[in-house]
Amino acid sequence: MNIFIGELIGTMILVLLGDGVVANVLLAKTKGNDSGWIVITAGWGFAVAIAVYVAGWASGAHINPAVTIGLLSVGELAASEVPVYLAGQFLGGFLGAALVYLAYLPHWAPTTDAGAKLGIFCTGPAIRHTPGNLICEIIGTAVLLIGVLGISNVNNGLAGGIGPYAIGILVFAIGLSLGGPTGYAINPARDLAPRIAHALLPIPGKGNSDWSYAWIPVVGPIIGGVIGALLYNTLFSNLTPI
């Protein structure tokens, strides 16, 4: 129950605040309209930090299937716990997206750009190039796992009060440096669950949900999460602190 509730609430907050900042920038007649990529990446970084502060003590705050599967791949998580983590993450992602829809209810109709509405809920490529888009998501998520494992390494002494803040900075950095090609999903629950919400919610003039692309922000982060966890575990597990 701790795992499910922690991941449900943590991922819900992550998506509510993360998709919320995108809505503030992209939807018509908002206070933050057209404020740009720096605002979006900062908002996502803060969203991650707050979600980890909220849920970290209850579930470890994976709030991301790529993190869960990455930790599984290096033996830091029991296989029996994985379905509970994933259930909380995907349900939380859907609920967070639904709350964004409600929070910005008057702003959907005045927004004429269907692509912008989709971009609030899920990612899409700046240039549609399947191998390049997949590689970008793999690299970004590998960096995420390497960073998370480094921050949580007891030898750094960051896992307590400053740890979630450091993870937020990590996500901010990934968005600034690696987010340009694909919008840096780096999290299947953050992308797929809100994409499903986009398909189901009565959003005026929303267009399609781009299902032909939807597999990339799921498969890429999972591959990247495993690679990142294995790399960190292999390269750092036998080192001696100086």
- This prediction has a pTM of 0.95
Q: CA-to-CA distance for 145 and 159, rounded, in angstroms?
A: 15
Q: CA-to-CA distance for 12 and 54, rounded, in angstroms?
A: 11
Backbone phi, psi, residue 76, to 5°: -95, 10
- Residue range 120-142: average pLDDT? 98
- Residue range 7-23: average pLDDT? 98
Whether 144 contacts 225, CB under 8 Å:
yes
Per-residue pLDDT at 159: 62
- Residue range 83-105: average pLDDT? 98
Per-residue pLDDT at 27: 98
Q: CA-to-CA distance for 41 and 122, rounded, in angstroms?
A: 14
pLDDT in tens, 175-225: 999 999 999 999 999 999 999 999 999 999 999 999 999 999 999 999 999
Task: Tell me the residue type at 215.
Answer: W
- Residue range 151-159: average pLDDT? 79
- Residue range 60-80: average pLDDT? 95
Domains of the chain: 2-236 (1.20.1080.10)
Per-residue pLDDT at 96: 98
Per-residue pLDDT at 131: 98
